[in-house]
Structure formats: structure tokens, C-alpha cells
Structure 1
């Protein structure tokens, strides 16, 4: 199994451009070619599912099977995102889009950041006593 980081995620560089789904799907093709894989089973979650969907559309002959998990189309998010939705807990969509700021504020505080989301977004969690 191979689980590569997408551009700008994990330990990869964070380029100013090339973070579109098609470029990232082509990165996967280049990795496959480098490793000598003709076809793959591709599993993508969240942003990885978006890239996987693009990969499946552009490189159908390179996929044996494809699983997309937690894949809300970007177009739907963009069309429905507003201040009300941000106040309901999705403020991080905008926050994470600010260049370099999230990394500067979260670095060294990852446990606090993740605990907030695990508690806030987990089934059965409720605010208050």
C-alpha cells in the first residue's frame, strides 16, 4: 500500500500553484509510472476523494477500483457557504485558506486543534454540561 501526501499536505512542499485536482491527479500518474504500476486500487477521503474522482475521470484505464469517502463536491460547498454556515462550525474552511496563517497558529498546538474537532464533530457530542 502507498499513501502519498497530496501537494500542500503533510510533509510536502506548499507551492503557490498546482493544488488543483487535475494537477494532483497527474502527480499520482507520475508516481505510478515511477513505481512501475499500470493500474491501482485508489481510495480517497475528503480532498483525496476529490482528487481521486478527477483521476477516475481523466485516467479511467489506470484504475482497477475506486472508493471515494466523505466527498462533498466543491461546487456545492462554494455555492452554499456563507456567514451562517461559518458560524455553525465551518469557519475552518475559510481559515485554512489563508496562506501560512493556519500553520503559524496551529504548529505546536495540534492536540488542541484536533481535540476541538473530535469533540465538536463527533456523533453524540453536545456543548454544555
Structure 2
């Protein structure tokens, strides 16, 4: 009985793990035009999943080329929309980010672009 229960538990955990987004939530549908894209709800989780490994407040000076994306205030102090968009789109003459990893999904790139176009709302 215990062995069967353990097997069922492991199967359930495996199925649950297969249905998550990079930051633990279910993968959101890509419907950027109808989304309310704010820093706290949408952009910060993207930065958590793809940028802050190098660009956090603790690591930006050694790993992140001096670019601190640790929080909303830090991003706004540095912010260069053209540079960020060029980097995440892997544009010619831009430093492709995330470095040595795949480009962000087109949906996440569109979310960042929409956030910028909306004036970078926090909430």
C-alpha cells in the first residue's frame, strides 16, 4: 500500500512540474494586446526568470556589466529602451541577452515593448 501511494505521489508531482512557467506559475496565454502589462505583475517575473541571474542588485557590478535590474527603481535609473530592446531581440550590434542563452520568447519581448510604450507602469 505504501509503495503504491508513493508511486502515485511521484506521478502527481511529475505531472504538476510539467505544467509550470519558468517562474512557477502556469504558462500565460500570449494575448499581449489585451493584457495589462505592469512591472510588478508581468515584467518583474520575466526579469526574475531571465535577467537577474547577472543583473541583480547583488551581482550587476561583477556579472551584469554595471546594469542593475534588481528592482523597479534601479531599472528606471539605468533604463535605455533602445538598448534593452536591441539586446533582448538579439539585434545586430547589440549585446544579445540573456547572454549565452536562448532569446526570450516573442511573447515576453512583446510584453516588455508594451510596458515601455505604456510609460513603464509599476502597478
Question: Does TM-score exceed 0.5, indicating one fold?
Answer: no
1 or 2, which has the higher strand percentage?
Answer: 1
* Greater RCO (Cα-Cα under 8 Å, separation 6 or more): 2
TM-score (norm 2): 0.26
